[in-house]
Structure 1
């Protein structure tokens, strides 16, 4: 079993999970109505909800899923490949 490959696979999936978490954070914005007072450009949406939390949760889940998947791939018997 190649542990370097397991950790590398986990880290790649961690990056994918981080991006997915940030996307989920952006998707969870709530639309609101306001009177548009002030000089800033108001797009009608609130800010992302806790993007750091979503990114961290996505990274952890990505690392666990990626490592687990590679462990399953590595644990198949050598005779099955022939």
Structure 2
């Protein structure tokens, strides 16, 4: 088992090496650029998904409109037939 002073000096040596090591970092402009690009991409993704949801909603509403339009048309045809029948009886 090594004496405590050797272990202590080894960790001190490692700490000194760590202090002298340069960690690569991005400049502020690089960070800003990366964040800006990521933000733009995210906005586009959200925008695209919201647009697809909106289109889907519009198509659904249009489908409901067509159903109601068909129902009104059938009701109108039925009323026309009833009026014709009543006019024929007179």
Tell me the TM-score normalized by structure 1. 0.37
- Indicate the structure whose relative CO is greater, using CA pairs within 8 Å and at least 6 residues apart: 1
Say which structure is richer in helix: 2
Structure exhibiting the larger radius of gyration computed from Cα positions: 2
